[in-house]
A and B are shown apart, each in its own frame.
Chain A
Amino acid sequence: MKLNNKFAFLANWRESCWQSLRLSAPLLLLGLFFECLNNSFFQPSSFFYQIFNFSHWHWVIEFGVVTTALSQICFSAFLLLLCMATAAFHIQRCRTANQTERLQSALAALLLLLTISYSHRIFSIGAGLNWLGGQATFLEAILVGLLGAATYYGLQRLFVRKNWTLQLWQITLASLFEGGVIREINYFLQCNHWFLSNILSYLNLSNYQLPGVIVASWQSILNTLQLWIGAVSPGNLTADFNDDAANSINLAAALTKNSLKDLPQPLNVHSLLGSYALLGGSGQLLALLLVLLLVGKQQQKRAAELNLFPVFFNLNGGLLAELPLIFNWRLLGPLLLAPLVSIWLAAAAIALNILPPAVYLVPNGTPAILGAFLGTNGSWRVLIFTILLLLISMLIYYPFVKSSMCCKTNKGAANLA
């Protein structure tokens, strides 16, 4: 019975997360459109800017500045809304709260968020709120939202027990105090980010002398888990490891002998994971998106259509929020499996000299499918192989999408609506 209660709490917690993610998703999607334009069109190092030589149009860079600002505003607004909505929805699920209680809970979360984010120590780099502007992760916003709900709930219970009436200024004061304490603890612990977001990055195997396939597979699992728990920023692209030491050695060798044959380390994180297993970001989400377009229900199809543009350029945050993928147990299997299968197939093809390893650096914001193609200096075999991997990943997602998204998730979604 106790166990069931615990699970009920977790289910409530997850439902309120999903509900708030869906509510805030439009803001995120807007931010992703601006980010995409900036990453792939307007930045001087971006794909379209380089390929179609936009350098003689000066307004393009100015547009880039505008889209950067707009995307940061959208991401900040998204994170604030996500945090506040999580608090409000969670308090409603826990104790069928009225509108005032939901608002007060959201206020507690907002104050916590702003206090934790505020840092007078980084004024030197021109920012007071280091947390916002798209730098924070989904998970952090959700956890602060839950903390806000818990703060409000705790205060309420305490005041009821003492027969006092809880007032707004008391919630404000308590939230500011709690946020300040968390901020100081975080500073004391000297974390790069204030909690959880970078823990998985400490587990990478790049520093050990292990075969490239193992390192790439492990890194892929870490990336996917990071995505699945929402420990990713809304606008950040997954690293493609082109600055990895092994790739630098390969690049120097390829440039020296003008060939991609017999490179010192053909199987490495960049040539496997970065080139073939990040189609639409971690988890081969472009494949999932295409499966949703093909067989998804109306609502899923709409979400996929809206996210096609950003996911094509590897920005998958919108899909993460709209479906949602965060803490979605049923999709964890294919999320892990699709990139792993791609890595293993690519490793076999490179080891058997069927394909050259991708080595050359590609422009920022290059469409996912073209990464390996350009990294091999335009090998058409590689492009066909990449498309083949995309189709295989779609086949991996297909049964899971049919069984889970069409039933449970959608049922939940219907309830949320």
Chain B
Amino acid sequence: MLKKQNLIWVIGLILITMILALPAAGWMKKEVKSDRAAHRSALDPIIMVPGSSATQNRFDSLVKIINHDSVHSHSLIKVTVERNNKLRISGKLLSHDHRPFMVIAFADNADGYQPVQRQAAWMNLAVNQLEKIYGFNRFSGIGHSNGGLIWTLYLEKYFDQNRFSIDRLMTIGTPYNFKERNLNKKTNILKELINGRKKIPKHLIVYSINGSINYSTDGLVAAESVAAGKYVFQGQVAHYTRITVTGDNTEHSDLPQNRQIIKLIEQNVLRTQKPQLERK
């Protein structure tokens, strides 16, 4: 027969469990944080994708300026994906460099909806190959012009959150609505990006930069088209920031060499916390 006093055993056991659970949960959270730091690769490259018609040398000036400003030089590794899916890799990883620049360019660098789709798939090939060679599991991204579209498509269609983590993405002069200025008329690419936005990592921090030479355009991409990025990122990622750059070198093709933009890259992409290499 069930006696009330016998219930003390069950209640006592549950109480002891609850009392033990409090310090155990605190310890576990610290342990997971430490494991996570140990799990993140020391190498945290900045992967840059140029826009249409540009080659793997598109960011040479940008890297040169950044290296000139830095105490330690950053490596520059360049990849060009050929039309037959083969990769041409050049450059060398400098010792003790945790933040190398990796440029992924495409032999078929045409503009338009279909070419951009192909380039996103090629980008996936290149990232996987670079991961095999250099063994990283996290990176940051910079995309100039259509390079920003390729980055966004890659994040929506190919990025595997179980393998990689990406903290920051900076798109520079990216036409999210192609040449369309009217935000009520959404082009195919914008519709596709909006449809797939849920797959973009939630903890991502996005900076969208546009140049302005005459209040409305950088000479090639309309400010409204860059602004259309808000429909893709806003409400999905952790932070979405839009910045307009004016003054010298704000024409579309000059943006990667623009001093203000380089400063933004240094502040918001390069200067992130150093990885914790060893557990305490």
Contact = CB atoms under 8 A, between A and B. Distances in A.
Interface of A: 47, 50-52, 249, 252-253, 255-258, 262-264, 290, 293-295, 308, 312, 360, 362, 366-367, 369-370, 373-374, 377-378, 383, 387
Contact of A370 (B1, B17, B36, B162): B17
Interface in B1-27: 1-2, 6-7, 9-10, 13-14, 17-18, 20-21, 23-27
B80 interface: no
Given A256-B137, A258-B203, A374-B28, A52 B23 contact: yes
B27 A50 contact: yes
Contact of B162 (A257, A360, A383): A257
B117 interface: no
Contacts of B203: 257-258
B134 interface: no
Nearest to A375: B28
B29 interface: yes
A294 B161 contact: no
A367 B39 CA distance: 27
Interface of B: 1-2, 6-7, 9-10, 13-14, 17-18, 20-21, 23-29, 31-32, 35-36, 39-40, 137-138, 161-165, 201, 203
22 contacts: A51-B24, A52-B23, A252-B39, A253-B161, A255-B35, A257-B203, A262-B162, A290-B13, A294-B9, A295-B2, A360-B28, A360-B35, A367-B20, A370-B17, A370-B20, A373-B24, A373-B25, A374-B28, A377-B32, A378-B21, A378-B25, A378-B26
Nearest to B6: A294
Given A257-B161, A367-B20, A370-B24, A377 B29 contact: yes
B9 A256 contact: no
Contact of A294 (B10, B25, B28, B165): B10
Contacts of B13: 290, 308, 312
State the majority secondary structure of interface residues on A. Answer: helix
Contact of B21 (A249, A258, A295, A370): A370
A290 B161 contact: no
Given A290-B10, A360-B32, A383-B17, 11 more contacts: A249-B162, A252-B39, A253-B161, A256-B163, A264-B162, A295-B1, A360-B35, A370-B17, A374-B25, A378-B29, A383-B18
A51 B163 CA distance: 30
A383 B21 contact: yes
B13 to A, nearest CB: 7
Contact of B14 (A51, A256, A387): A387
Contacts of A255: 32, 35-36, 39-40
Given A360-B32, A377-B32, A263 B24 contact: no
Contacts of B29: 377-378
A67 to B, nearest CB: 20
Nearest to A374: B28
Contacts of B35: 255, 360
A255 B36 CA distance: 5
Contacts of A253: 161-163
A293 B10 contact: yes
Given A252-B162, A258-B36, A369 B27 contact: no
Contacts of A308: 9, 13
Contacts of A52: 23
A383 B17 CA distance: 9
A257 B1 CA distance: 52
A255 B26 CA distance: 17
Nearest to B39: A255
Given A264-B162, A293-B6, A257 B25 contact: no
Nearest to B164: A256
Nearest to B26: A378
Given A51-B24, A51-B27, A252-B39, A367 B17 contact: yes
B275 to A, nearest CB: 13
Contacts of A258: 36, 165, 203
Q: Which 5 A-B pairs have the closest CB atoms?
A: A378-B25, A253-B162, A255-B39, A293-B9, A294-B6
Contacts of A256: 39-40, 137-138, 161-165
Contacts of B27: 50-51
B49 to A, nearest CB: 22
A263 B26 CA distance: 23
A384 B55 CA distance: 58
A47 B17 CA distance: 13
A378 B20 CA distance: 12
Contacts of B163: 253, 256
Most buried by B among A252, A258, A262: A258
B273 to A, nearest CB: 14
A142 B23 CA distance: 43
A355 B162 CA distance: 19
A257 B21 contact: no
B235 to A, nearest CB: 18
Contacts of B40: 255-256
A262 to B, nearest CB: 7
Contacts of A377: 25, 28-29, 32
Most buried by B among A256, A312, A362, A366: A256
A262 B198 CA distance: 13
A312 B9 CA distance: 12
Contacts of B28: 360, 362, 374, 377-378
B89 to A, nearest CB: 24
B137 A51 contact: no
